[in-house]
Amino acid sequence: MLQPACHESSSVVLPIASDRGLLKKDVPIDVTFFHQAGEDVTPPDVVAFLGLGNEVAASARAARRFSALGLGNIAVVSALPYWKMSPNPDALKELAVQAPGAVMRAVTEMHGSEPPVVHAIAESQQGPSLAWAAAEDPGSFTGRLALLRSLGIQNGMKVLPFLWGMARTGCQADQLRNPGVLKIAGRGAYRLGCDLVMDKRAGLDFALSATIGDALGKIVAHKGEENLAVVAADSDRLFSAAAQRTMLTAHDLQDIFFVIRGSHTPPAVKPGAAQFMPVAAWCRTGEFPAGSLVLHNGQ
């Protein structure tokens, strides 16, 4: 059983003005993140942005899961609330670009007057958000950046193959052996269903059309290849390692590509949380732990 840990939640209000027609309702948009609490706990030096379905309850559980595995000093950010935005590409892109920087600045402020180095990991749906944000506002991202099992590195996806990939993912061992995945998948399916019915598929179409090769190139130009990693999972049936490698090679970015073991599993369950361990280690040291990689640039 997962043991409770001392965590607290914080919220960041995003700088999205209500008079620009980007919001469904005239209310502030905020993003919640969880981090360890206590007088002897140092502020987070890694921020993990979680993907679709990982809302507040799931991200809180992921934070406890990381602690149980020994991964401390990490802030865990809930899925971005795209359903609160107007169903058009400009509004959805605004949310995607604004949220990561706002969270990174909030975590940086937790360190006080001494400027820290804070790293970021974005999984799945949040990969494009982190890439776009870091490309447009590099000053808010002081540390290394990693995209784990990321959307946007497949040269676009169609709806039916994406839904089929989700169904196939649900039949993999990591999912079948961990019933907690069902809650997260169910929440994601609910959000997708609402998007299909109420927003005429605006959110899904925006997500599947995302392509971030140019943004990754800008990040490399600013930070260098040694500070950016795209990490695929060898058994990912949603965003395959082969498709990601093909796109990165086309952008001459193959040297930032790595493959670890696993499938497209959320970090609220142990196999998904374990995938973050070598990625967080790379963020902090610049090297992946021995034996953690299946592939690095074909080697």
The pLDDT assigned to 166 comes to 80
What is the secondary structure of 84-120 as a DSSP string? GB-SSHHHHHHHHHHHHHHHHHHHHHHTTTSPPP-EE
pTM here?
0.93
pLDDT at 176 over 90: no
Query: 242-248 long-range CB contacts below 8 Å, 24 or more apart?
Result: 243/153, 243/154, 243/155, 244/150, 244/153, 244/154, 245/298, 246/155, 247/153, 247/154, 247/155, 247/211, 247/213, 248/153, 248/213, 248/216
Residues 29/95, Cβ–Cβ less than 8 Å: yes
Residue 1 has pLDDT above 60, yes or no: no
Task: Return the SS3 of 182.
Answer: helix
Lowest pLDDT segment from 1-10, 23-32, 60-69, 77-86: 1-10
pLDDT of 296 > 80? The answer is: no
Nearest C-alpha neighbor of 243 from the set 277, 213, 205: 213
The residue with greater pLDDT, 71 or 25, is: 71
Could you tell me the CATH superfamily of domain 7-296? Answer: Alpha/Beta hydrolase fold, catalytic domain (3.40.50.1820)
Task: Please state whether beta strands 30-36 and 257-260 pair in parallel, antiparallel, or not at all (unpaired).
Answer: unpaired
Mean pLDDT of 265-274: 92
pLDDT tens for residues 137-156?
A: 999 999 999 999 999 998 77
| Beta carbons within 10 angstroms of residue 86's beta carbon | 18
pLDDT at 4 over 60: no
Q: pLDDT tens-digit profile of 275-289?
A: 999 999 999 999 999
CA–CA dist 32, 60 (Å, integer): 10
Q: Does position 94 have pLDDT exceeding 90, yes or no?
A: yes
- pLDDT of the residue at 86: 92
Helix runs in 149-269, H state only: 159-169, 173-176, 180-198, 202-209, 213-223, 241-250
pLDDT value for 88: 92
Give dist(CA 36, CA 169) in Å, integer: 31
Q: Where are the domains of the chain?
A: 7-296
Residue 103 contacts residue 77 (beta carbons within 8 Å)? yes
C-alpha pair distances (Å), 293 with each of 107, 110, 249, 262, 273: 29, 33, 19, 11, 16
Q: What token pair was written down for 36?
A: 């360890």
CB 5 within 8 A of CB 36: yes
Residue 187 Cα distances to 40, 108, 193, 270, angstroms: 35, 30, 10, 19
Q: Where residue 10 falls among pLDDT bands split at 50, 70, 90?
A: confident
C-alpha span between 79 and 64 (Å, rounded): 17
